[in-house]
Structure 1
Amino acid sequence: MDSLVGHTPETEEYGIASFVYRARRPFDPQRFEKWSQETWPGVLRAKGLVWLADEMEKACFLQQAGVMRQTEDIGYWWAAVDKAAWPTDPSERKELQENWREPGGIGVRKSW
């Protein structure tokens, strides 16, 4: 840890900031597509799960680094999976239940 003495963090040295976007509503697919095709000045890295209104059961993943950007389907939200196929590990089941949202039956669906 001695090598960190006098080290200026990159956040300070280069003015890098970060934020987390969270939503319990799906994105409008047309607006998301338009936004994802735009340039994002100053954004160095972005990544996260995406919920689209026209694919209510599918989870998507957005990743961007520099000029490379990709959005892809990565599977299904737990709310769309039969409970018989859910994890059997008690700690994993507990985490699912803690993140479950009712009423409305959206379950564990969110963008972040």
Structure 2
Amino acid sequence: MSNDALVTIGDNQGAGTLFVSPITAWELAIAARKPAHKAPPDLGANTPARWFSAAIEATAAKIIPIKQRIATETAAVVTVTGHKDPGDCYLIATARVRKIPIMTRDHVMRGLAVPQYLQIVDC
């Protein structure tokens, strides 16, 4: 992780403003199914659900519920950006509705980062 990412996590942990989307759990579960040659995440002996729960507890992050406003903004993200990855679109919509940055390595999401639309913290 980058220094900016670590500082951002630490600052937000201290302030009680570290947030995670439940879509991240879904994306983790999908990634964990990748074959070994595609570099799945290393979860140790944990299931994706157990790893995600432990990470939430360890970081004191708060899970942002997906409500109607985020769901409808997700459809708008597809229209505005042309991006069709449902997980990414939900993450972008959540960040836009809550007015918080996304921490990501994803090159497509990083390419969508423009003032007044999406803020990214590169990790």
Q: TM-score range by the shorter chain?
A: under 0.3
> Which of the pair is proportionally richer in helix?
2
Structure having the higher strand fraction is: 1
Larger radius of gyration: 1
Question: Normalization by structure 2: what TM-score?
Answer: 0.21
Structure 1 length normalisation: TM-score?
0.22
